Amino acid sequence: MDAVKLAELKRFISQCRSNPSILHNPSLAFFKSYLQSLGARIPPDPKTDKVRDDMEDTKEHIDTKKHDTLGEDDAIVESDIELDDSDVVEPDIDPPQKMGDPSVEVTEEMQDAAQAAKSRAMTAIFEGMAFSCCELDEAIDHITEAIILNPKSAIFYATRASIFVKLKKPSAAIRDANAALEINPDSAKGYKIRGMARAILGHWEDAASDLHVASKIDFDEEIGLVLKKVEPNARKIEEHRRKYERLRKAREARKAERERQRQSEAEAQESLSALKDGEVIGIHSVGELETKLNAASKTSRLTILYFTATWCGPCRIISPLYVNLAGKYPKVVFLKVDIDEARDVAARWNISSVPTFFFIRNGKEIDKVVGADKNALESKIAQYAGSA
C-alpha cells in the first residue's frame, strides 16, 4: 500500500479512537456497516443520546417544578449551561507514558545525548506539522528518550506534553505538564500546555486558570487564541455557579425564616397556654410573675398587675369590677397579687398602698392607678387595650 495513503489511514483511525462519534457521519455509513459485519461494537451516537436525555431531563424538570411549587422546600433544579464544546474530546485511555527516574544521576554525556534526542524530536515535530501521526509518534519516541536520559528537565516533559496535545491525548499531556511543573513551578510552557489540554477535555475553569498563570509568566499569541475560546465558557460556568449559589443562599434564608416563624409561633402558643383568657390569674411568687409577664410579652399582650390585700376595704369594693373587666377584655392579661401572701413580689414592686394597678407592656411599666378609682381603672384599660 502507498505510504501516503497508509499514513492517512493511520491518522483516520487515530481520529476515530479520539472521537468515535464521527462513525455516525452518513458519508461513512458504508464503513460503519463493514465494521458491524465484523462484529465491532459501535458507540451510540452522542447527539441522539443527548436529544433523548434532554427530553427525559425536560420531563423530570417539569415534574420537579410541579412538585416544588406544592412543597415548602423550594428545591432548586439547575438549568444547563450552553457552552462551546465543539472541540472537546473524551479522555485518552492509553497506558501512561514512560516517565524518567528523578533519582538518576545525570552526567554530561547523558545531557548531551538528551539534547540530541530532543533535536530529533523537534525535527520530527516540524515534519509532522501537517498532523501526520507517524512523524508525531516518532517525535514522542525521541523526546521520551531525552526524558529517560535527563529526567530532571522540565522543558523535556513540557515538549512531550505539547506533542500529546497535537495528538489529541489530553490526559497524557496533563501528566507530562504536571511533571514539568513539579520540576519547575514557574514553567510557563507547563502551565500553557496543561491549560490547553484541560480545554480539550472541557475543563474550562481549570484551563483558564492555567492559561492566565502562563500568560503572566511568559505571554504568547497562542495563549491568547486559546483563551478567546476558554474564557467565555469559564465565565458562563462561574456566572452559573454564582447564580445558583445566590438561589441556594436565598433558599436557606427562607428556610431559616420559616423555622424562626415556626419557633416563634410555637413559643407564642406555649405562652398562650400559660395565660387564661377572660380570667384573673393569681400570682404567688416572683418566679410565677416573671413567667406570666414573659408569656404576655411573647404574645404582645397588655398586662394589668393588681396588688391587693384581704384586710383592704377599697380592694374588696373594686375586686368584682376587676373580675368583670377581665371578662370584658379577654386579650388583656389580668394578674392579681396578695401582698401578704407574696411579700417578695410586693417588695420587688415597692408597694406602699393597696389597691395599686400597674399597666405593663413588653415587660415595661407604661402607667399605673393607685386607689380604688373605678373610672380611672376602666378608662386606662380601654385606652391601652385599644392601642394594642
Q: 3-state DSSP helix/strand/coil percent for the chain, to nearest 5?
A: 65, 5, 25
Concatenating the DSSP letter of every residue in 125-188 gives: HHHTTT--HHHHHHHHHHHHHHHHH-TT-HHHHHHHHHHHHHTT-HHHHHHHHHHHHHH-TT-H
Catalytic residue list contains 16: no
Backbone torsions φ then ψ of 56, nearest 5 degrees: -70, -40
Query: Which residues have C-beta within 8 Å of that of residue 198, sequence separation ≥ 6?
Result: 170, 174, 204, 206, 207, 210
Q: In what order do the strands lie in the sheet with 364-370?
A: 280-283, 333-338, 303-308, 356-361, 364-370
Catalytic residue list contains 134: no
Give the containing element (helix H, strand E) for 356: strand 356-361
Q: What is the dihedral of CA 262, 265, 267, 272, to 10 degrees?
A: -160
Query: Which residues have C-beta within 8 Å of that of residue 142, sequence separation ≥ 6?
Result: 117, 118, 120, 121, 124
Note whether 156 and 118 are within 8 A (CB): yes
| Matching residue, cell 379577654 | 330
Note whether 370 and 358 are within 8 A (CB): no
Going by DSSP bridges, is the β-strand pair 333-338/364-370 parallel, antiparallel, or unpaired? unpaired
Single out the catalytic residue among 16, 133, 134, 312. 312
- 318: cell is 373594686
Single out the catalytic residue among 16, 133, 134, 315. 315
**Alpha carbon 70 to its chain's center:** 24
Q: How many CB atoms are located within 10 Å of the residue 305 CB?
A: 22
| Matching residue, cell 539534547 | 115
User: Active-site residue numbers?
Assistant: 312, 315
